[in-house]
């Protein structure tokens, strides 16, 4: 590299000599003229030299002006964002600085464009504690600069910056630049980063006051300039023998021999400071303090001093920091010739363990270096740029909306996090983002079904939807369904477990219904019980009359009813089952079945849902036509939740599988999903992405899932993981995200910050994308349109206003919702009909001997309900 610079300089000197010869040739006619002959001899001798020197100076000055103009046109800027894992490796830092020395231009290009100047600017704006780092470079060196930064600081980010952002209002304030200390100090070495093995950049940046700019402009230069700087001192030391050197001179000589080996890269640099505080006293104090800090850092055997502009000094108007031109004006003594080792003190990123990376807490006022915190990153334009809203990207300078593709959501997702850390905030923004997309284009955009066991999220969403309606937005009300399945609801829906699903084998329907009914059992040895229950359900399904779960008990305890129903069975294996059934075996298996049925019939809410003859929900219509469905199950017993939600999952699953590929997308979102650990969930995670159906599981901790097959499916098949701050569940999320997020990081996530792990597609190829997003607190509004303050009675009023709107929606769901009085009457009629069949039996006393005491108790409960 040094040879390239020297060769370029030699060619420059040849060209200047040629220009001088040309000037002399042009001056010959004047020399031969009579007027020239009458001039004194000394003038005749000196005039040609003055003219030649004047021409050369004009050429050189003109080139300098042209090169500065060209440099201003060509300069481009990056903003550098350090990462939180910067470590100090002095050899790497030295190589980083040397890389700029390798970017010198060849002699012809240098004549055209001048030397390539680079610029590092550290800036702390007024009224801010944040320090930003910029680097300026000629645009023909963009690849070299970009590669250098990425090679030596791979975890950092660089962002293009417009010229306008670099232009500062520096009309007020004061500044100055650095010069070498005079005398011998000029030629002696400055601080060596490699020898010190310590970075002071953190101290320098932390000491920057508001309104301060620290500017470093440098260009590769020839070795000869360094020799000129140190020449006198070197000669003086060489002339003395070792024994004649005093201790200080002996150290200096050794320092020279180590520092100046001929392998160093040399740079011409200008270091300037400006502070634009309107209070001149504060501005002076700021630049003086920073100037002293830098002088102390660079001073070794040699040193520099800060030369501050006085108010009367005209040079203050040409301080390099006041211009974005990377090529400085030739201010007196401002050109510092430095080795790569000396320059490296100011051209590296401070290690991330320095306090400058920590935001100061009052009364601390030190500057804070803007950087990428752990797991922060910018997103490319094509990454997470369309679909459902997840939140705002957490990034120091490039925040934007983060959206996940609706296609990706068909690969299912999980949202997990500790209580109070923002899980609900993320869920509300996610649902409302989808809803707003749907409102804008209800014919094409997907919809969803949301099941809420706590009611709070539904109340917030209903409030927001009603607020949209009050503002005059068409919310497509006819396509919004709300079902209140809480204990105090005046209406309910029918979810008959014995409903015959069109196009679905009765045997499969019976098997899944049996699994749901027995899903709350703690025992794992239920194979025979499940077989008996599935056979009973299949028998009822084959009857030409509709039945519900009440018919299961009648089938087991009432021989006459059983004979009537089994007579219509067409399946030969099913007939054989009933024909070969032994009383002892029968009695053993009836009790656990009745135990499982008991909660569904004893609980009024569950009874009204499962003991209807119909399946009220037209799920195929909801999915194909894009309906929003909200189901409130507040206060429901855990065992009932598992059966109700499990049955809904089954219905959505079977419906999705019957739809053609490319069908409109629909998502089933289940809060507190760990309460519904049924075998079917794992199957859905493996299969249903093909049918435009996605499952969203919301839970506090992944560890709450204890079904091994389900846990395996979650870890391997989930297409997106969203996590707020975790407690015990952090290790599970770490595994699910393939260690993109560490357990330690997840445990210290701030409130309403969400770690996102998903995939994005570019050019048909899927790549893992991870980032951090933030969400706003869930806002709710009062009827007058004002936002309700969180934690006040106004918030309660706003939520109630939302629930009232939900009840209005439910009142419009006449095809699905029936009054509870009507449902109770239907159930009573079914029980009465079964009782009549029982009374018509020839030997009713014998029947009671064929059932256990538990079955008799169960019969009494049914009779009690009849009286109600």
Phi and psi based region of residue 302 (left: phi greater than 0; alpha: psi -120 to 50; beta: remaining): beta
* 3-state SS, residue 633: coil
Q: Tell me if 289 sits within 8 A of 209, measured CB to CB.
A: yes
Which residue would you say has higher pLDDT here, 171 or 472?
472
Q: Does residue 49 surpass a pLDDT of 80?
A: no
Domain locations in the chain as residue ranges:
2-70, 71-251+262-369, 402-495+616-815
Question: For residue 247, what pLDDT is reported?
Answer: 65
Q: Does residue 269 surpass a pLDDT of 80?
A: yes
Question: For residue 251, what pLDDT is reported?
Answer: 61
Question: For residue 850, what pLDDT is reported?
Answer: 38
How much of the chain, in percent, has pLDDT values that exceed 70?
83
- The tens digit of pLDDT for each residue in 396-410 reads 999 999 999 999 999
pLDDT (average), residues 736-748 = 94
pLDDT (average), residues 561-578 = 89
Rounded CA separation 226/610 (Å): 92
Least confident among 516-525, 614-623, 839-848: 839-848
Q: How many CA atoms lie within 13 A of 323 on its CB side?
A: 17
Nearest one of 510, 604, 496, 507 to 546, comparing CA atoms: 496
Q: Tell me if 640 sits within 8 A of 516, measured CB to CB.
A: no
Q: Does residue 254 surpass a pLDDT of 90?
A: no
Q: Where are the beta strands (DSSP E) in 565-662?
A: 628-632
Superfamily of domain 402-495+616-815: P-loop containing nucleotide triphosphate hydrolases (3.40.50.300)
- What average pLDDT is seen over the chain? 85
Rounded CA separation 732/742 (Å): 10
Q: Tell me if 762 sits within 8 A of 385, measured CB to CB.
A: no
Neighbour count for residue 825 (Cβ, 10 Å): 11
Q: Does residue 45 surpass a pLDDT of 80?
A: no
Question: For residue 839, what pLDDT is reported?
Answer: 46
Residue 275 CA to chain centroid, in angstroms?
Answer: 36
Q: Does residue 5 surpass a pLDDT of 60?
A: no
> Using 50, 70 and 90 to split pLDDT, how confident is the model at 331?
confident
Q: Tell me if 120 sits within 8 A of 133, measured CB to CB.
A: yes
- What are the angstrom distances between the C-alpha of 734 and each of 124, 712, 723, 742? 37, 14, 10, 5
> Using 50, 70 and 90 to split pLDDT, how confident is the model at 505?
confident
Question: For residue 626, what pLDDT is reported?
Answer: 96
Rounded CA separation 521/533 (Å): 14
How much of the chain, in percent, has pLDDT values that exceed 90?
55
> Using 50, 70 and 90 to split pLDDT, how confident is the model at 715?
confident
Q: In 668-681, which positions are buried (b, 16+ CB within 10 angstroms) versus exposed (e)?
A: bbbbbbbbbbbebb
- The tens digit of pLDDT for each residue in 145-172 reads 999 999 999 999 999 999 888 887 777 8
Q: Tell me if 346 sits within 8 A of 201, measured CB to CB.
A: yes
Q: Does residue 265 surpass a pLDDT of 50?
A: yes
Least confident among 287-301, 303-317, 471-485: 303-317
Q: Does residue 746 surpass a pLDDT of 80?
A: yes
Q: What is the pTM of this model?
A: 0.84
Rounded CA separation 591/326 (Å): 88
Question: For residue 854, what pLDDT is reported?
Answer: 38
Residue 365 CA to chain centroid, in angstroms?
Answer: 29
Question: For residue 59, what pLDDT is reported?
Answer: 66
Nearest one of 494, 602, 590, 505 to 548, comparing CA atoms: 494
Q: Does residue 848 surpass a pLDDT of 70?
A: no
Rounded CA separation 561/792 (Å): 59
- Helix H, strand E, coil C: the string for 745-788 is HHHCCCCCEEEEEEEEEECCEEEEEEEEEECCCCCCECCCCCEC
């Amino acid at each position: 590299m040094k040879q390239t610079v020297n060769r370029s300089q030699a060619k420059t000197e040849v060209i200047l000599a040629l220009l001088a010869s040309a000037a002399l040739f042009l001056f010959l006619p004047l020399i031969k003229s009579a007027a020239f002959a009458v001039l004194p001899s000394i003038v005749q001798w000196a005039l040609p030299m003055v003219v030649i020197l004047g021409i050369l100076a004009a050429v050189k000055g003109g080139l300098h002006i042209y090169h500065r103009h060209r440099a201003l046109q060509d300069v481009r800027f990056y903003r550098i964002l350090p990462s939180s894992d910067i470590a100090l490796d002095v050899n790497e830092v030295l190589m980083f600085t040397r890389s700029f020395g390798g970017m010198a231009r060849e002699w012809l290009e240098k004549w055209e464009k001048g030397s390539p100047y680079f610029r590092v600017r550290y800036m702390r704006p007024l009224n801010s504690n944040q320090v930003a780092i910029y680097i300026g470079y000629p645009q023909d060196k963009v690849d070299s600069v970009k590669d250098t930064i990425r090679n030596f600081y791979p975890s950092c980010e660089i962002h293009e910056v417009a010229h306008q952002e670099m232009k500062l209002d520096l009309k007020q304030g004061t500044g100055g630049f650095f010069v070498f200390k005079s005398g011998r100090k000029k030629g002696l070495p400055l601080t060596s980063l490699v020898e010190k093995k310590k970075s002071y950049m953190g101290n320098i940046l932390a000491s920057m006051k508001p309104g301060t700019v620290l500017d470093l402009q440098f260009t590769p230069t020839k070795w000869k300039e360094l020799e000129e700087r140190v020449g006198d001192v070197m000669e003086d030391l060489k002339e003395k023998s070792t024994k004649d050197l005093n201790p200080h001179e002996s150290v200096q000589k050794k320092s020279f021999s180590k520092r100046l080996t001929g392998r160093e890269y040399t740079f011409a640099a200008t270091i300037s400071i400006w502070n634009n505080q309107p209070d001149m006293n504060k501005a002076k104090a700021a630049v003086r303090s920073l100037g002293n800090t830098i002088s102390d850092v660079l001073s070794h055997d040699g040193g520099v001093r800060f030369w501050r502009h006085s108010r009367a000094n005209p040079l203050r108007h040409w301080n390099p920091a006041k211009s974005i031109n990377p090529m400085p004006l030739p201010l007196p003594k401002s050109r510092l010739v430095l080795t790569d080792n000396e320059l490296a003190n100011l051209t590296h990123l401070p290690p991330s363990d320095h306090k400058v990376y920590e935001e100061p807490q009052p009364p601390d006022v030190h500057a804070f270096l803007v950087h990428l915190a752990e797991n922060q990153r910018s997103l490319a334009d094509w990454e997470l740029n369309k679909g459902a809203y997840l939140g705002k990207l957490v990034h120091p300078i490039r925040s934007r909306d983060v959206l996940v593709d609706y296609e990706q959501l068909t690969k299912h997702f999980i949202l997990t996090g500790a209580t109070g850390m923002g899980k609900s905030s993320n869920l509300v923004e996610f649902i409302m983002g989808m809803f707003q997309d749907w409102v804008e284009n209800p014919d094409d955009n997907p919809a969803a079904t949301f099941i809420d066991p706590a009611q709070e999220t539904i109340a917030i969403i209903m409030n927001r939807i009603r607020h949209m309606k009050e503002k005059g937005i068409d919310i497509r009300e006819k396509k919004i369904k709300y079902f209140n399945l809480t204990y105090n609801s005046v209406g309910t829906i029918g979810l008959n477990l014995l409903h015959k699903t069109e196009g679905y084998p009765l045997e499969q329907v019976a098997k899944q219904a049996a699994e749901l009914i027995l899903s709350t059992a703690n025992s794992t040895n239920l194979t025979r019980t499940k077989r008996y229950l599935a056979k009973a359900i299949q028998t009822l399904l084959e009857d030409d009359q509709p039945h519900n779960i009440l018919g299961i008990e009648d089938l087991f305890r009432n021989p006459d009813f059983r004979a009537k129903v089994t007579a219509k069975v067409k399946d030969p294996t099913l007939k054989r089952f009933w024909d070969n059934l032994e009383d002892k075996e029968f009695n053993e298996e009836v009790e656990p079945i009745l135990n499982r049925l008991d909660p569904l019939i004893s609980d009024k809410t569950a009874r009204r849902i499962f003991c209807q003859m119909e399946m009220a929900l037209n799920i195929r219509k909801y999915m194909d036509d894009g309906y929003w469905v909200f189901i409130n199950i507040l206060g429901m017993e855990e065992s009932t939740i598992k059966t109700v939600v499990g049955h809904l999952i089954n219905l959505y699953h079977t419906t999705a599988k019957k739809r053609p590929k490319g069908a409109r997308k629909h998502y089933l979102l289940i809060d507190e999903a760990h309460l519904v650990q049924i075998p079917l969930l794992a199957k859905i995670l493996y299969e249903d992405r093909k049918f435009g159906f996605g499952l969203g599981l919301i839970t506090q901790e992944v560890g709450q899932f204890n079904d091994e097959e389900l846990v395996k499916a979650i870890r391997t098949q989930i297409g997106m993981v969203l996590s707020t701050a975790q407690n015990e569940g952090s290790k599970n999320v770490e595994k699910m995200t393939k260690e993109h997020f560490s357990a330690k990081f997840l445990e210290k996530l701030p409130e309403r910050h969400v770690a996102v792990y998903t995939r994005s597609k570019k050019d048909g190829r899927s790549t893992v994308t991870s980032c951090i997003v933030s969400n706003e607190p869930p806002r709710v509004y009062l009827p007058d349109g004002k936002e309700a303050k969180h934690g006040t009675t106004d918030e309660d009023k706003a939520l109630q206003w939302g629930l009232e709107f939900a009840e209005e929606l439910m009142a419009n769901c006449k095809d699905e919702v029936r009054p509870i009085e009507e449902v109770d009457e239907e159930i009573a009629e079914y029980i009465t009909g079964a009782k009549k069949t029982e009374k018509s039996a020839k030997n009713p006393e014998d029947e009671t001997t064929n059932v256990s005491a538990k079955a008799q108790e169960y019969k009494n409960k049914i009779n009690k309900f009849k009286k109600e």
